[in-house]
Structures are given as C-alpha cells and as structure tokens.
Amino acid sequence: MKQFNVPIEYRSPLITAIKQYRKAQDKLKKDFSPTLLDLGKVQIFLARHFGFCYGVENAIEIAFSTVAENPGKRIFLLSEMIHNPQVNADLSAMGVKFMQDTYGKQIISFDEITTDDVVIIPAFGTTIAIETLLESKGIATAKYNTTCPFVEKVWNRSEQIAEKGYSIVIHGKPKHEETRATFSHASVHTPTIVVNDMAETIELAKYIQGEKPAAEFYETFKGRYSEGFDINKDLVRFGVVNQTTQLATDTQAISDYLKNVMIRKYQLTAETIDQHFADTRDTLCYATNDNQTAVGGMLSTDADLAIVIGGYNSSNTSHLVELCEAKLPTYFIDTPDRILDGNTIVDCNWHTKEQRTVTGFLPEKKPVRILITSGASCPDAVVESVIKKIASFYGAEDLIEKQMTFFQ
C-alpha cells in the first residue's frame, strides 16, 4: 500500500514499532488479538488495528502539501479535513479557513471565493451542487480533492447498479458530510433514500410491503429521499450502500433485513433475487471493517476498562465506543488532556456529545488491565501520549522504552 508523507509529529515510534511487528507476524491479517504492553502495575492491550487509515493519510498529505505549495494564497477547506481536533487545529494555525461546519452550516460565504483562491475538498467528499458552484467560480475542484478513494468506491458502485435499474438505499447518518455527499452522487443517477438505523429500516419496510399508507412515507422520511421519489415504484428494485464509517455489522444487518423483505414480497429464490435486490457487500470500507473486528478481538481479553481515542464528531470512532461500552466501562476522549490525573477523566457521551467528569476511573487493583483503541482519524502520537500519561500514574514510564525495544 502507498506510503504517505504525513507530518512527523503525528507519528509515534512506539506505535509504529508495534504495528510493523504485528504486520510481520500476521501478514494475512487473520490474528485480531490485541497487543500487550506489560508495564507492571498496569497492562495496556492495544487493538490489532487502529489509527490513521489510507483515506486519512491521503487527505493529510494533500492538505499539507497544498499549503506548502501555495504561499500567499488564500486557502479554504469546505469543512473539517477529517474529524480530528489536532489536525484541523494545525491546518487552521497554518491559515486555512473552514467554510462550513461538520453539519453543513455556512461559516464563510461562497460569495467570498475568487478564482485566485484554493479550495480543498475534505476526505468525506462533497455534493455535486457544491462542486458545480466552485467550478462556476473558476476553482479547480479536482486539483485539491482529498475525497477518500473508498468513499468514491461507494459512489461508483451506486452508479453501476443505478445503470442496471436499481434505486439506492444509503445506510448513514443523514447530517454527516459523507452521507450528504454520497446521497448527492447517488441521487443524480437514481431514486435514493437514507436510513439511519435498523429502526428506520423496519419502518421503511412497512411502506415497501404496503403495511402503511404511502402518503405517510413522505412525512416520516422527510428530507431523506431524492426529488420526485415515488414510494410505490422506486423500491421495487434497489441495493443498499453505506456511509463507510458505519458499523459494518449494522449495514449488513440492514441489507439482510431488506433483502428478506424483498424475498418474501416477490417470492424470490437464490437465482432470482437480483431481479429486485443488488449485492453491494463490496461497499464496506476495509479500515472500518479492520478496526471494528480488532475491537471484537480486543474485547475477548479480560480487562477493567477501555479507552477509545478520537474526535467527538467522528462517526467511526463513536462506533468503536459503542462496541466497547457494551462489554465494560468505556471512556471516550479526544486528547490526553482529558485524563486529568490518576483518578479523574473527562468522558464524552458518544450519543449526546456531552462531557462529564468521572472520578475513580482507574480501579485500585493491580495490575490494572486497560483496552485502548483509536479512530481512523486519530494520530498515533496521541495514542502514545495517552499510554505514557497512564504509565506515569504507576511510575512505569521507563518500561515503555523496554517494550518498544522488544517490538523493534
């Protein structure tokens, strides 16, 4: 896989050594057990896969090189480059201006953009309408486009099945940048609708099967369907694609549920299923799959708590928290600073994004066993800083160097 030029301050000698060691030991990525850092009074179990993915490193390389190659020019980002506070703060400190927030609320008007400006499209991609608007102003959108290749893969797959007469059901968070972008690119080719979760999928199935009157559909799913969508005609033949950072198991469950609905409604067989339902399993992101599967492997370890590190508005990170908290006490932090001392941590509720201060988060027992993972947009250096901070509470900083020597 391509190696990207990512700022050294985002790298971690410790994490790099561990990842290279695990890769050499498990080239086919079949071992999802965690990596143990035995620091005496505290034991850290690191997920097999975590941190920067291909799409994130690609976006960071393009963004930082764009700033370096355009001195004196005004540089804008359509929204956050990725959902990581450190990376976005670093870009802001370099003079990059953010035009929208993560939900599409305008911060800087497009009217302020001129032909001489540089506009970077973030890793999530953007809508066709915004691309067209920028191009009308003379902005070369393709030149500074950091859209993740795996997001584009979903767009391409949507277009492919649209050409075969299928409509599209997107499993995604309706307000998320990536979902908005995918919806735009899919709906230009075929009728498209967004479902957020299984509950909404079950409701949608009631309209597909005629259990609920069609007139109610347009209010229930208001803002979720493409212009001219006809509930009586447009879900006779469709496929399910995903926002790449959703739980892979959730997307598969939604797809399986709707597939079974179509089988029952049209009395389909394995040979005739494609008459009404498209196979789109190839739209699941490899990094999302790997990180989530690695959490599953990590959770098989007997531990006292889990710490998940990443941006609070990061969808993929939130799902890692969701997986961990179903098994044991879990704390969601975006920086090492959220760990105030050996007794106190500031945790973020992944549902509400509200923060709370928790005391006594580290148990009195020895050794304390802690599971740690991070989202796809979290620098490895942040993970190392968290490990070092925790180690300092147990006087185990020197043991980290010994562990790194073992993995080198």
**What are the residue numbers of the active site?**
178
What's the 3-state SS for the chain? CCCCCCCHHHCCHHHHHHHHHHHHHCCCCCCCCCEEEECCCEEEEECCCCCCCHHHHHHHHHHHHHHHHCCCCCEEECCCCCCCHHHHHHHHHCCCEECECCCCCECCCHHHCCCCCEEEECCCCCCHHHHHHHHHCCCCCCCCECCCHHHHHHHHHHHHHHCCCCEEEEECCCCCHHHHHHHHHHHCCCCEEEECCHHHHHHHHHHHCCCCCHHHHHHHCCCCECCCCCCCCCCCCEEEEECCCCCHHHHHHHHHHHHHHHHHHHCCCCCCHHHCEECCHHHCCHHHHHHHHHHHHHCCCCCCEEEEECCCCCHHHHHHHHHHHCCCCEEEECCHHHECCCCEEEEECCCCCCEEEEECCCCCCCCEEEEEEECCCCCHHHHHHHHHHHHHCCCCHHHHHHHHHHHC
Closest CA to 328 of 349, 307, 346, 355: 307
Task: Give the whole-angstrom CA distance, residue 277 versus residue 81.
Answer: 35
Instruction: Report the relative pairing of strands 368-374 and 355-359 from DSSP bridges.
Output: unpaired
For 240, 242, 279, the CA distances from 255, given in Å and listed in that order, are 6, 10, 9
Task: Give the whole-angstrom CA distance, residue 318 versus residue 314.
Answer: 6
The partner residues of 369 in beta bridges, in order of sequence, read 43
The partner residues of 43 in beta bridges, in order of sequence, read 38, 369
Q: What are phi and psi of 106, to 5 degrees?
A: -70, 130
